[in-house]
């Protein structure tokens, strides 16, 4: 697994930049206030000369206790409002619409206008707004890609809309930010921002149905998939498998991780994951699948063709 | 100047009645005596020790294990399940079972000394508060024995905490165990409010009252206003879990966010409920150790009151990420930031006092300085997270973990240490080692910064809260490792503290009455103080009596004679002085409750109800309710006054002050007033749920459910009106000494009210929709039954009044319970009219 985790310190889009600017401003103000406070505290404790009684105390209270915080807070509030206005709450024009549904503990991702269904990883074109429509199938989750912007909750009874944009290419990772049960820690999501061309390429790849098995081994693999419990929960477009409890696997091989960030997606891990998901992510709905070695080999070989 | 430390303390007298009174006020010996104990020293110490015990049991072991787990990435020291249980427990225990009881213990232990009175106003209520807190805590912890440990966080957000996603009993233990403890917290708050307002020494006007008492006065009111909505919210959650209602079920008209609103209406004030008592301690320590009266005393009082009010207007800043509209978001951002002003006033008042004084470097001052540094840092990050866009990044990340620990350890923990180092020698009579105290401070101060400062950074790098592990390669490793090291430094610091306590106990180095040359009343008493604290109640003429007064017995002629007389009489019953709220003029001498087993039994009944719900034994709840009713009756049973009315009258004539051996009039009135307030807040919380659900639903009532006919309720309302009228007439009659008139009036009230409740109750039982049909049905039935329960409580009280009237207990002079029940009837009728009005009339308004 490899996410570029610059975090909110290192913004890669307009929303995150806006927030980062606000943060550096508040950090500067906060540091100045703290330095002033420390100076007053230490000087006050160190003063050994005889005091001119309480003469200045009213100014101390009024200036330090009321005016200082009032000024600081007014400035912070003004910049807060400015940032809130600068951060879009609806897309300007022609956004890419992505519907993200939180599940315990993975992300269902759909591009309704493009006819794409996938899970846990998605792509966005550089320099264009994306409109994320967030909702949940079970408990409350929270969507957060720190390099691109702030977080927003996925609720079971509302759809929240988040507008984001990436200005630099990269993989932007994040994790579910609202405690959602046992495997809350293993619920990663990532967005890959690419040039419009390579985004379009990815889209047409995702739109296509799954590639048909091309040899005996993969043919066998598809059979295993259909005859065992896999198809009860997973879909592979272009085959009879149409379960909708778990992630869509039509283009599984194009994804970089398994189990919402638990394992890198490679042959060995895929076999491991299928036979013992409960070892890697205890408590998820997917049971350990008991297959013979030959069945597992065929199944993995088939799934690896699903580019 | 009077701020210079005085070599001569005011004269303190030790009258010959000291031992007699000390004996009179002692709790009975033996185990049974311990269970019957009501004395404020005992209750206060128990609360503090039990809180500390829960901290060691839960709060601290949890954090060490969690930090070990997070020391390195991809660690598998603990399972995800155990980790989730640990952080749930850590938050729940510290927020509900540690900080609050310890502070309430401080208050109950110290307030009588500080205010110059002998006892809290309702000693038995104090005992009840302790036992409910203890039993609630044990019920919560007993989850471990059933392997159903709460694991949905200390905030227990729905739907995760609902039956569908948390099917075992874990959440029930959380809701019900902590629910019992919350009842205890409210009981103690009532006790604290009345003691501060009504039990001050003669002459201690509100403006002379110590800031410690102000802090607890504001805090206790906040507890009442904050914990009540939480209790209601918890009740709704438990109704969903145990009775199939639909408050939080999004598929049947419920809302996923209603819980968050109810929870944070409690949860945000809770932060200040923990913080204000801490500032109260700081405001006592600073004048003593800077040898200077507090600068800006009135400013501090004003800012505490302001914080109390403001803290209820900013709960939604915990919910910036749920998708609030920008208008709502900016309102709550502004409200949250405004609180920086009263906080700033307090900080600068302390700074000004520090500038004006000369420090004496005792351990309490060191912890105070540490408090200031850590709290200001936590306050600055607090303003940051109030900024909505920034909070969208910081929320639920380790940045917030850092912020809240600076506020809670720096802002609350350090003042607690300051308070213990300051007052413990007074309470035990033995000094604590100052050198070890300094080690304790420095290790802790360094540890807190090492543990929590890095969390700011790793949070903004993207590390969310409440994760049992994290991947490597994100640059989070070093920060996490440093935090883990920091926690071990903290443990070492706390270790030094424990060693210091043990050494103090072993060495038994006695302390003088006023080792710090402090200015407030408690330091005029012996270390440790007598059971009744004051044989001769002090007379106060200054905010800093031990610095400004030549003695504690000079005031107006009447006051002097009165306090003198109270040192001699009565020696056979526990007499305390109630004074007027603003000016502390003596108002009455009354008898406080003595040792009694009934508070324990009532607490046991309370916990039985909750435990029965846990085991789904509904009859057990009825049994618990019966125990409570019996307990409350036994608790309040009028016992024969140890003096005659003639003797009372004699003292009254001599000192022109009423003597009430049957219980105080004013204090009982305040008690009933606060009980009414509690009922009112609970009622408003249910109304809030009603209107929230209503606005959340497109149709109200939902399709398939008809508005029920109001006819039955209208006739029941008429009967309740008759009951209220009857009770008022009875009350008026007894004021004229007419016992028969009282019997007629209360008898009519009893019968009419019974009729009204039976009609309304059977109407509710016959309704065509149940509490399980849609959130509409849930809230309709819940609100309706709430009203009926309140009215039934009034009926039970009326029945007792009728019984005691028949036995001739009441006279023109002694009828306090009658007027109190009349007061309750007013509330019950208001709740009835508004409640049923909302249920039956408002749906027509749309």
The rounded distance, in Å, linking the Cα atoms of A71 and A74 is: 5
Is B417 exposed, middle or buried (CB count within 10 Å of its CB: 0-12, 13-18, 19+)?
Answer: buried
Give the CA radius of gyration of chain A.
26
Residues near B219 by Cβ (< 8 Å), separated by ≥ 6? B103, B189, B192, B272, B273, B276, B277, B280, B308
Angle of the B739-765 helix axis to the B816-840 helix axis, nearest 10 = 30
In a domain, A102, yes or no: yes
Cβ separation of B392 and A152 shorter than 8 Å?
yes
Q: Are both A264 and A172 inside the same structural domain?
A: no
The rounded distance, in Å, linking the Cα atoms of B594 and A52 is: 52
Residue bearing tokens 């049923």 = B836
Chain B residues whose CB is inside 8 A of the A43 CB are 355
The rounded distance, in Å, linking the Cα atoms of B390 and B455 is: 16
Show the DSSP H helices in B199-257 as ranges.
211-243
Cβ separation of B373 and A69 shorter than 8 Å?
no
Q: Are both A115 and A263 inside the same structural domain?
A: no
By C-alpha distance, the chain B residue nearest A11 is B461
Name the residue facing B296 among A57, A69, A176 (closest C-beta).
A57
Query: By C-alpha distance, which of A115, A111, A87 is closest to A97?
Result: A111
Residues near A234 by Cβ (< 8 Å), separated by ≥ 6? A241, A243, A245, A246, A247, A248, A249
Interface of B with A in 163-182 (CB under 8 A): 165
User: What single DSSP character describes residue B108?
Assistant: H
* pLDDT one-digit tens code per residue, B265-297: 999 999 999 999 999 999 999 999 999 999 999
In a domain, A207, yes or no: no
The nearest CA of chain B is from the CA of A97 a distance in Å of 18
Mutate one of B291, B392, B465 to test the A interface: name it (highest A CB count within 10 A): B392
Distances (CA, A) of B319 to A74, A229, B154, B265, B583: 22, 40, 15, 11, 43
By C-alpha distance, the chain B residue nearest A133 is B323
Name the residue facing B80 among A30, A76, A182 (closest C-beta).
A182
Q: Are both A94 and A156 inside the same structural domain?
A: yes
pLDDT value of position B4: 41
Task: Give helix then strand counts, H and E, for chain B.
Answer: 29, 3
Residue B774 pLDDT exceeds 50: yes
Q: Indicate the residue among A157, A177, A197 that finishes a domain.
A: A177
In a domain, A193, yes or no: no
Cβ separation of B321 and A79 shorter than 8 Å?
no
Sheet holding A130-136, edge to edge: A116-119, A106-111, A96-103, A130-136, A160-164
CB atoms within 10 A of CB A158: 17
In a domain, A237, yes or no: yes
Q: Does B478 touch chain A (CB under 8 A)?
A: no
Mutate one of A19, A59, A61, A170 to test the B interface: name it (highest B CB count within 10 A): A61
Interface of B with A in 285-304 (CB under 8 A): 295-296, 299, 303
Give the pair of three-digit tokens for residue B481: 């490792």
Name the residue facing B354 among A16, A45, A157 (closest C-beta).
A45
By C-alpha distance, the chain A residue nearest B393 is A150
Show the DSSP H helices in B579-644 as ranges.
598-614, 618-636
Q: What percent of chain B has pLDDT over 90?
A: 87
The rounded distance, in Å, linking the Cα atoms of B794 and B775 is: 29
Residue B59 pLDDT exceeds 80: no
Q: What percent of chain B has pLDDT over 70?
A: 99
The nearest CA of chain B is from the CA of A121 a distance in Å of 17
Cβ separation of B473 and A2 shorter than 8 Å?
yes
In a domain, A190, yes or no: no
pLDDT value of position B843: 85
The nearest CA of chain B is from the CA of A293 a distance in Å of 29
pLDDT value of position B209: 97
Question: Domains, chain B, ranges and CATH?
Answer: 39-256+513-663 (1.20.210.10), 305-511 (1.20.210.10), 688-845 (1.20.120.80)
User: What single DSSP character describes residue B385?
Assistant: H
Cβ separation of A23 and B393 shorter than 8 Å?
yes
The rounded distance, in Å, linking the Cα atoms of B299 and A139 is: 46
Show the DSSP H helices in chain A as ranges.
14-46, 57-59, 68-86, 196-207, 216-227, 230-233, 267-275, 277-280, 293-304
Q: What b/e readout covers B460-480, taking b as 16+ CB neighbours within 10 angstroms?
A: bbbbbbbbbbbbeebebbebb
Write the DSSP assignment of B435-469 as a string of letters: HHHHHHHHHHHHHHHHHHHHHHHHHHTTPBSS-S-
**What's the length of chain A?**
307
Cβ separation of B395 and A151 shorter than 8 Å?
yes
Give the pair of three-digit tokens for residue B531: 């059971």
In this predicted complex, what is the ipTM?
0.96
Cβ separation of A84 and B330 shorter than 8 Å?
yes
Average pLDDT over residues B481-508: 95
Chain A residues whose CB is inside 8 A of the B460 CB are 7-9, 23, 146
Cβ separation of B333 and A80 shorter than 8 Å?
yes
Distances (CA, A) of B393 to A10, A43, B117, B321, B432: 12, 36, 51, 9, 45
In a domain, A65, yes or no: yes
Q: Indicate the residue among A127, A146, A177 that finishes a domain.
A: A177
Residue B3 pLDDT exceeds 60: no
Query: SS3 for A100?
Result: strand
pLDDT value of position A1: 35
For the ranges A49-63, B354-368, B383-397, B622-636, the lowest mean pLDDT is seen at A49-63
Phi, psi for B567 (deg, rounded to 5):
-75, -20
More confident residue, B645 or B408: B408
Q: Are both A14 and A136 inside the same structural domain?
A: yes
Query: By C-alpha distance, which of B483, B513, B663, B484 is closest to B574?
Result: B663
Q: Does B344 touch chain A (CB under 8 A)?
A: yes
Cβ separation of A54 and B461 shorter than 8 Å?
no
- A52 — pLDDT class (breaks 50, 70, 90): low
Cβ separation of B381 and A1 shorter than 8 Å?
no
Query: By C-alpha distance, which of B661, B394, B178, B96 is closest to A27?
Result: B394
Domain with residue A240: its CATH number is 2.60.40.420
* pLDDT one-digit tens code per residue, B542-576: 999 999 998 899 899 999 999 999 999 888 899 99
A119, A247 in Cβ contact below 8 A?
Answer: yes
Residue A2 pLDDT exceeds 50: no
Residue B157 pLDDT exceeds 70: yes
B741, B832 in Cβ contact below 8 A?
Answer: no
The nearest CA of chain A is from the CA of B107 a distance in Å of 28
Q: Are both A116 and A221 inside the same structural domain?
A: no
A-B CB pairs within 8 A amount to 253
B126, B43 in Cβ contact below 8 A?
Answer: yes
Query: Range of A242's domain?
Result: 216-304
Chain B residues whose CB is inside 8 A of the A144 CB are 462, 464
Q: Are both A166 and A269 inside the same structural domain?
A: no
Q: Are both A162 and A80 inside the same structural domain?
A: yes
Q: Are both A159 and A254 inside the same structural domain?
A: no
Mutate one of A20, A46, A49, A54 to test the B interface: name it (highest B CB count within 10 A): A54
Residue A82 pLDDT exceeds 80: yes
pLDDT value of position B1: 33
By C-alpha distance, the chain A residue nearest B365 is A45
The number of distinct structural domains making up chain A is 2
Q: Are both A145 and A278 inside the same structural domain?
A: no
The rounded distance, in Å, linking the Cα atoms of B286 and B366 is: 10
Mutate one of B318, B389, B473 to test the A interface: name it (highest A CB count within 10 A): B389
Q: How many CA atoms lie within 13 A of A113 on its CB side?
A: 9
Q: Are both A170 and A230 inside the same structural domain?
A: no
Residues near B572 by Cβ (< 8 Å), separated by ≥ 6? B24, B642, B643
Q: Are both A77 and A23 inside the same structural domain?
A: yes
Distances (CA, A) of B248 to A179, B253, B333, B610: 17, 8, 27, 21
pLDDT value of position B627: 95
Residue B824 pLDDT exceeds 50: yes
Average pLDDT taken over every residue of chain B: 93
Interface of B with A in 389-408 (CB under 8 A): 389-393, 395-397
Name the residue facing A23 among B255, B323, B390 (closest C-beta).
B390
Give strand pairing partners of A173: A190
Q: Does B117 touch chain A (CB under 8 A)?
A: no
The nearest CA of chain B is from the CA of A18 a distance in Å of 8
Chain A residues whose CB is inside 8 A of the B473 CB are 1-2
Average pLDDT over residues A58-84: 93
Name the residue facing A87 among B354, B389, B464 (closest C-beta).
B389
Helix (H) or strand (E) holding B505: helix B477-507
In a domain, A204, yes or no: no
B762, B679 in Cβ contact below 8 A?
Answer: no
Phi, psi for B8 (deg, rounded to 5):
-105, 110
Spacing of C-alpha B796 from chain mean position: 27
Average pLDDT over residues A275-297: 93
The rounded distance, in Å, linking the Cα atoms of B413 and B375 is: 10
Q: Does B279 touch chain A (CB under 8 A)?
A: no
Q: What b/e readout covers B234-256, taking b as 16+ CB neighbours within 10 angstroms?
A: bbbbbbbbbeebbbbbbebbbbb
Spacing of C-alpha B799 from chain mean position: 31
Give the pair of three-digit tokens for residue B807: 């036995």
Chain A residues whose CB is inside 8 A of the B79 CB are 282
The rounded distance, in Å, linking the Cα atoms of B285 and B272 is: 20
Cβ separation of A140 and B157 shorter than 8 Å?
yes
Q: Name the maximum alpha-carbon separation found in chain A.
A: 96
Residue A55 pLDDT exceeds 70: no
The nearest CA of chain A is from the CA of B160 a distance in Å of 5
The nearest CA of chain A is from the CA of B804 a distance in Å of 55
CB atoms within 10 A of CB B54: 24
Average pLDDT over residues A147-166: 96
For the ranges B2-6, B516-520, B841-845, the lowest mean pLDDT is seen at B2-6
Query: SS3 for B575?
Result: strand
B527, B559 in Cβ contact below 8 A?
Answer: no
Cβ separation of A45 and B384 shorter than 8 Å?
no
Give the pair of three-digit tokens for residue B436: 């070890």
* pLDDT one-digit tens code per residue, B782-805: 999 999 999 999 999 999 999 989
């Amino acid at each position: 697994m490899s996410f570029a985790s610059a975090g909110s310190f290192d913004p890669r889009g307009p929303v995150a930049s806006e927030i980062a600017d606000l943060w550096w401003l508040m950090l500067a103000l906060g540091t100045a206030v703290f330095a002033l406070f420390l100076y007053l505290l230490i000087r006050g404790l160190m003063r050994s000369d005889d005091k001119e009684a309480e003469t200045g105390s009213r100014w101390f209270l009024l200036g330090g206790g009321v005016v200082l915080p009032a000024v600081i807070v007014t400035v912070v509030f003004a910049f807060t409002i400015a940032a809130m206005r600068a951060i879009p709450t609806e897309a300007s024009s022609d956004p890419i619409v992505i519907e993200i549904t939180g599940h315990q503990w993975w992300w269902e991702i759909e591009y309704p206008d493009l006819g794409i269904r996938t899970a846990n990883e998605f792509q966005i074109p550089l320099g264009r707004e994306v409109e994320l429509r967030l909702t949940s199938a079970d408990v409350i989750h929270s969507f957060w890609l720190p390099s691109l912007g702030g977080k927003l909750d996925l609720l079971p009874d509302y759809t929240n809309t988040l507008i984001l944009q990436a200005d630099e290419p990269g993989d932007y990772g994040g994790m579910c930010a609202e405690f959602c049960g046992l495997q809350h820690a293993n619920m990663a999501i990532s967005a890959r921002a690419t040039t419009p061309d390579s985004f379009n390429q990815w889209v047409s790849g995702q739109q296509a149905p799954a590639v048909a098995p091309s040899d005996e081994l993969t043919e066998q693999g598809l059979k295993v998939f259909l005859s065992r419990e896999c198809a009860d929960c997973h879909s592979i477009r272009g085959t009879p498998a149409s379960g909708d409890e778990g992630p869509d696997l039509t283009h599984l091989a194009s994804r970089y991780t398994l189990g919402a960030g638990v394992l890198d997606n490679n042959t060995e891990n895929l076999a491991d994951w299928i036979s013992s998901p409960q070892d890697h992510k205890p408590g998820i709905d997917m049971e350990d699948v008991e297959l013979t070695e030959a069945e597992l080999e065929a199944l993995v070989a088939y799934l690896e063709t699903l580019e | 100047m009077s701020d210079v430390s005085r070599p001569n303390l005011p004269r303190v007298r030790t009258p010959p009645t000291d031992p007699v009174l000390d004996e009179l006020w002692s709790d009975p010996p033996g185990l049974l005596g311990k269970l019957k104990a009501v004395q404020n020293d005992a209750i206060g110490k128990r609360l503090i020790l039990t809180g500390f015990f829960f901290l060691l049991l839960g709060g601290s072991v949890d954090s060490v294990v969690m930090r070990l787990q997070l020391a390195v990435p991809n660690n598998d020291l603990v399972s995800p399940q155990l980790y989730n249980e640990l952080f749930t427990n850590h938050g729940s225990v510290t927020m509900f079972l540690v900080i609050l009881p310890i502070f309430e213990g401080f208050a109950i232990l110290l307030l009588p000394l500080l205010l110059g009175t002998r006892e809290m106003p309702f000693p038995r209520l104090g005992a009840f508060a302790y036992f409910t807190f203890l039993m609630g805590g044990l019920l919560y912890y007993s989850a471990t024995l059933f392997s159903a440990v709460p694991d949905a966080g200390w905030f227990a957000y729905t739907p995760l905490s609902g039956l569908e996603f948390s099917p075992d009993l874990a959440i029930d233990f959380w809701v019900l165990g902590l629910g019992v403890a919350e009842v205890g917290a409210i009981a103690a708050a009532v006790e604290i409010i009345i003691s501060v307002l009504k039990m001050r020494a003669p002459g201690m006007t509100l403006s002379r009252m110590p800031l410690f008492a102000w802090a607890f006065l504001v805090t206790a009111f906040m507890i009442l206003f904050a914990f009540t909505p939480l209790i209601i919210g918890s009740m709704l959650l438990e109704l969903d879990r145990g009775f199939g209602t639909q408050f939080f079920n999004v598929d049947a008209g419920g809302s996923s966010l209603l819980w968050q609103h109810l929870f944070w209406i409690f949860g945000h004030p809770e932060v200040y409920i923990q913080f204000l008592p801490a500032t109260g301690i700081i405001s006592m320590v600073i004048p003593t150790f800077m040898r200077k009266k507090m600068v800006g005393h009135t400013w501090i009082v004003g800012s505490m009151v302001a914080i109390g009010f403001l803290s209820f207007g900013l709960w939604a800043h915990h919910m910036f990420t749920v998708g609030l509209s920008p208008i709502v978001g900016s309102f709550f951002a502004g409200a949250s930031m405004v609180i920086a002003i009263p906080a700033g006033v307090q900080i600068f008042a302390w700074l000004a006092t520090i500038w004006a004084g000369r420090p004496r470097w005792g351990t309490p001052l060191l912890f105070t300085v540490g408090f200031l540094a850590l709290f200001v840092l936590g306050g600055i990050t607090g303003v940051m997270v109030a900024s909505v866009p920034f909070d969208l990044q910081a929320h639920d990340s380790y940045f917030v973990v850092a912020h809240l620990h600076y506020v809670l350890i720096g802002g609350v923990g350090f003042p607690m240490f300051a308070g213990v180092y300051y007052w413990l020698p007074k309470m035990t009579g033995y000094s604590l080692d100052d050198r070890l105290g300094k080690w304790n401070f420095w290790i802790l101060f360094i540890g807190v910064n090492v543990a929590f400062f890095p969390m700011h950074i790793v949070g903004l790098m993207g590390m969310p809260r409440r994760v049992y592990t994290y991947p490597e390669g994100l640059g989070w490793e070093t920060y996490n490792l440093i935090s883990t090291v920091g926690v071990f430094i903290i443990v070492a610091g706390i270790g030094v503290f424990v060693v210091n306590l043990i050494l103090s106990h072993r060495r038994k180095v006695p302390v003088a009455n006023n080792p710090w040359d402090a200015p407030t009343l408690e330091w005029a008493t012996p270390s440790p103080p007598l059971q009744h604290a004051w044989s001769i109640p002090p007379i106060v003429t200054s905010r800093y009596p031990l610095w400004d007064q030549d003695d504690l017995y000079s005031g107006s002629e009447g006051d002097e004679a009165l306090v003198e007389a109270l040192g001699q009489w009565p020696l056979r019953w526990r007499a305390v002085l109630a004074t007027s709220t603003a000016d502390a003029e003596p108002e009455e001498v009354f008898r406080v409750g003595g040792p009694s087993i009934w508070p324990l039994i009532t607490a046991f009944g309370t916990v039985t109800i909750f435990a029965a719900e846990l085991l789904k034994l509904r009859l057990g709840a009825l049994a618990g309710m019966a125990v409570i009713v019996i307990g409350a009756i036994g608790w309040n049973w009028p016992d024969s006054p140890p003096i005659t009315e003639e003797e009372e009258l004699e003292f009254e004539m001599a000192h022109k002050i009423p003597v009430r051996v049957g219980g105080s009039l004013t204090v009982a009135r305040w008690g009933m007033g606060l009980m009414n307030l509690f009922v009112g807040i609970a009622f408003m919380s249910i109304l809030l749920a009603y209107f929230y659900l209503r606005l959340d639903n497109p149709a109200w009532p939902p399709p398939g459910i008809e508005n029920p006919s109001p006819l039955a309720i209208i006739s029941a309302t008429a009967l309740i009106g008759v009951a209220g009228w009857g009770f008022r007439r009875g009350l008026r009659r007894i004021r004229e000494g007419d016992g028969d008139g009282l019997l007629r009036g209360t008898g009519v009230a009893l019968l009419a009210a019974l009729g009204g409740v039976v009609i309304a109750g059977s109407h509710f039982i016959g309704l065509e929709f149940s509490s399980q049909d849609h959130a509409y049905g849930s809230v309709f039935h819940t609100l309706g039954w709430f009203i009926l329960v309140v009215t039934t409580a009034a009926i039970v009280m009326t029945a007792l009044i009728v019984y005691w009237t028949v036995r001739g207990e009441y006279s023109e002079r002694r009828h306090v319970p009658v007027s109190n029940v009349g007061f309750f009837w007013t509330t019950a009728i208001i709740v009835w009219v508004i409640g049923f009005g909302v249920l039956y009339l408002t749906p027509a308004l749309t």
